[in-house]
Amino acid sequence: MSKQSKKRTNVNKQTVALFWQHAYEHKTFLFSALISGLSFVFSYRFLPPLIIANIFDKISSRQYIAGDFMNSFGAIFVAYLLVVIVGGVFIGRLQNFFLVQLEKRVLFDIHNRIFNHLVAQSNNFHANRFGGSLVSQANKFAGAYVRLTDTIFYQINGLILSFILAIIILYPRAPYVALFLVAFSVIFVIIAIAITRHIRKLTTLLAKAQNKQTGFLADAIANVIAVKSFAKEGFEKKRYIQATSQTRSAYQRLVTSVIKREFIFSSVNAVLLTASLLIAIIGVVNFDSDVATVFLIFTYIGIIAEGLWIFGNHALKNINQSLGDAYDMTEILHISPTIQDPANPQKLAITSGSIQFKDVTFTHADNNEALFKKLNLSIKAGEKIGLVGHSGSGKTSITSLILRFADIDGGSITIDGQDIRDIRQADLRSKITYVPQEPLMFHRTIAENIEYGKPGADFKQIKAIAKLANADEFISKIPNKYDTLVGERGVKLSGGQRQRIAIARAMIKDAPIVVLDEATSALDSESEGLIQDALWKLMANKTAIVIAHRLSTIQKMDRIIVLEDGRVIEQGSHSQLIKKKGKYAELWAHQSGGFIED
């Protein structure tokens, strides 16, 4: 077995283990569905032929009273009627009820498990994956559970019980027939599994192609403004055609293999049915078998033949598709988040927001060389800090480490004397307000986007904060005002409007530490002035760390820290650094329109 085949087998086992784990958590419905399903097969498929065989026995041996149906066959007929009604109507519906109850509970658990797992993953994890593909993989995983469960309960379990009952009933009457059925069925199952192994591989490849196609579609739609503004519709169409072509090719290879498999299985099934008829005739002609036995042989072999045909053409197909669809998400669910909470977290002790980097060493996940080597940096509570430097100097890395979006390799980062690795990530971030350069908007109302910073805030609080953030004026002019849906990522609002809503959300959170990826560089003068005013209100009485792209925005900071290649090369106030005539003064002098030139 190749390395890839071993990996695929291992992942498939993990998928089954995950599904079983979730199903077993609802074992009352699990075993109720199993027992009622087996009872249905016994009562509806095997008891009626036995009753009919008993009638044939009575007829062939003339154990009946001519003209007296009720005394001769009345009790048997009533028994047959009860078995059919109880088995086919009551027990069958009971199995459906238990299975539906099981599946809806497991789906609830699976969807929430996937959501929690994905949210817990690092920024680097999400940066390397399409959001649309993750959604597709999550939905396919949940769908795979339903398909696999239905296949096992409605097809596999029924076939196994049918096989066992057929052997038990036929062996005393026709032992050679029973042995033939055992041998034939075992050989059939082995061949079926061997044939479908290749199909399972093709199904996995198809699922991967479909996920990739979904990711391409989501990426293009999410960036449709860029597509149109760069007149790249044709380019994106070609990329999408390539993706859909790969999906089509994968689908064609799968369909071709499935058709071949169905031809083989249908041929084998026809042979088995013909053999059962031949065996029945030979039993009567050569071995003087009674009519009841011949009837049971023909009927039960027919049931097994149908079950084997369903197993080969449908059950294995569903199993392969389920395992293929679940493959990617199963792998993801076994990826441990790179940023972990401590096993025994300390009680949160952050109040004022003093920050200390002590001998910090840090390497990016995609780099071999450390960015920070023994970095030391102290920020007092309430101090306003500006971070300056060319791209790659370490500005964003410092803020990411404070927020624990990434973990350090050595040293320590403490806030108010508490190591941030000793507390829960959620507790840490509850004390930090982060406003990124590109404001993060949910496709919800303006009020909901602001309230996100303080769940449960009433409308009066939301409106008051919006006024402080200089957002209320434009919100009040919109027809639906605070009930306006902002669109995906806030596309229905301008950049300045989105930024002011983001600042309002940060204000209402009221955390002691504010981290700003300064975002006024791409805004018009009016919006910039309003946002600058809002930002200073946000930073009032708080520890603030501002990544500066426009140096004019940090002139009033208490201290400006100049970074280069992960090192602090200068620090001081604006006036002090200008007088020093070092790197900061050089940056200031070489700005074009107030921006740092890379």
pLDDT digits (tens, 9 = 90+) for 238-258: 888 888 888 888 888 877 777
Location of structure tokens 């990617």: 328
Read off the pLDDT of residues 447-456 as tens digits, 9 standing for 90 and up: 888 888 888 8
Query: For 166-171, what is the mean pLDDT?
Result: 83
User: 597 pLDDT exceeds 50?
Assistant: no
Longest alpha-carbon distance in the chain: 124
- Please tell me whether residue 559 adopts helix, strand or coil conformation: strand
DSSP annotation of 46 reads I
Residue 386's beta-bridge partner residues? Answer: 546, 560
Nearest C-alpha neighbor of 322 from the set 215, 224, 196, 485: 196
Read off the pLDDT of residues 70-113 as tens digits, 9 standing for 90 and up: 666 667 777 777 777 776 677 878 888 899 999 999 999 999 99
User: 129 pLDDT exceeds 80?
Assistant: no
pTM of the model: 0.72
| Burial class of residue 420 (count of CB atoms within 10 Å of its CB; 0-12, 13-18, 19+) | buried
What is the rounded CA–CA span in Å between residue 269 and residue 262?
10
- Per-residue pLDDT, 526: 58
Q: Is the dihedral of CA 404, 426, 117, 210 positive or negative?
A: negative
Task: Write the CA distances from 256 to 5, 193, 207, integer angstroms.
Answer: 21, 17, 16
**Domains of the chain listed by start with CATH number:** 11-333 (1.20.1560.10)
Q: Which of 50-59, 91-100, 293-302, 559-568 has the lowest mean pLDDT?
A: 50-59
Read off the pLDDT of residues 468-522 as tens digits, 9 standing for 90 and up: 888 888 888 888 888 888 776 666 777 778 888 888 888 888 889 988 886 555 4
For residue 136, what are its two tokens? 């597709």
The answer to whether 385 touches 558, Cβ cutoff 8 Å, is yes
* Helices assigned H by DSSP within 41-74: 47-60, 69
Read off the pLDDT of residues 199-248 as tens digits, 9 standing for 90 and up: 767 877 887 788 788 777 877 776 776 676 567 777 788 888 888 888 88
- Please tell me whether residue 434 adopts helix, strand or coil conformation: strand
Query: For 277-282, what is the mean pLDDT?
Result: 69
Q: How far does Cα 105 stand from its chain's mean position?
A: 17
User: 288 pLDDT exceeds 70?
Assistant: no
Query: For 317-326, what is the mean pLDDT?
Result: 85
For residue 575, what are its two tokens? 């006036």
Q: Percent of the chain at pLDDT above 90? A: 9
For residue 30, how many other CB atoms are within 10 A of its CB? 22
- Per-residue pLDDT, 51: 76
Nearest C-alpha neighbor of 185 from the set 165, 159, 153: 159
Location of structure tokens 């398909």: 147
Numbers of helices and strands, H then E, in the chain: 23, 10
Location of structure tokens 């930024």: 499
Helix 47-60, helix 75-84: angle, nearest 10 = 160
The secondary structure element, H or E, covering residue 121 is none
